[in-house]
Amino acid sequence: MTQENETTPQSLDGQQEDLVKLKAELADFKDKYFRALAEVENTRKRLQKEKIESQSFAIQGVILDFLQPLDHFEQALNASQSASDEIKHWAQGFRMILQQLKQVIQDNGITPFEAVGQLFDPHVHEAIETEETEEVADGTVLQEFTRGYKMGNRVIRPAKVKVAVQPQQNTTLGEE
């Protein structure tokens, strides 16, 4: 018998220990591989989301610049109601153009929101004026001066509004 072909119990134990170590090392490398793969996928998703948000902010900025002139355009057309028939015919054509512009804004995810009759919310309204009244609940929006717009759930321009407040009670120290 040659010594090379013989396996002793000690050498089998050593080989089994090596096999256990190699399996543990393999499991560790697999774990690291799957973690790295998941990290790459998460990075790809995050970059895609950031790209979409960046495009959204770019669109928002450009459209926000157009909202004020559109408001003025609409106010001018509303003022033409009391003009001559010829001007009313011109205004009708401009109303069609205004509707097209509003459609472009809406197609890009920008939508106006209703303010009148709603409770004042500082996240979507900007109070320009208050009016004392008992006819409606305290904090109710009475009038909208400038329309507010949202892009998805995010307000891109708050509505400028007049808000109802309860009248002050005039009490003097002698009256109680």
Per-residue pLDDT at 127 exceeds 60 = yes
Question: Does a structural domain hold residue 100?
Answer: yes
Over residues 54-67, mean pLDDT = 85
Per-residue pLDDT at 4 exceeds 60 = no
Question: Does a structural domain hold residue 3?
Answer: no
Count of structural domains, the chain: 2
Output the pLDDT for position 96.
92
Read off the CATH number of the domain in which 133 is found: 2.30.22.10
Q: Say yes or no: 162 and 140 in one domain.
A: yes
Contacts 24+ apart (CB under 8 A), 99-103: 101/66, 101/70, 101/73, 102/70
Q: Say yes or no: 134 and 82 in one domain.
A: no
Q: Say yes or no: 30 and 102 in one domain.
A: yes
Output the pLDDT for position 1.
45
Q: Say yes or no: 87 and 33 in one domain.
A: yes
Domain boundary (67, 88, 108) is at 108
Domain boundary (108, 126, 155) is at 108
Output the pLDDT for position 153.
87
Report the chain's mean pLDDT, rounded to a whole number. Answer: 87
Give the separation between CA 90 and CA 60, rounded to whole angstroms: 31
Per-residue pLDDT at 172 exceeds 70 = no
Sorting pLDDT into bands at 50, 70 and 90, what band is 80? Answer: confident
Over residues 129-137, mean pLDDT = 91
The pair of three-digit structure tokens given for residue 118, joined into one six-digit string = 């709603």
Domain that holds residue 82: 9-108
Handedness of CA 28, 29, 31, 36 (dihedral sign): positive
Domain boundary (59, 77, 108) is at 108
Output the pLDDT for position 121.
94
Q: Say yes or no: 71 and 23 in one domain.
A: yes
What does the pLDDT look like over 9-29, one tens digit per residue? Answer: 667 778 888 899 999 999 999
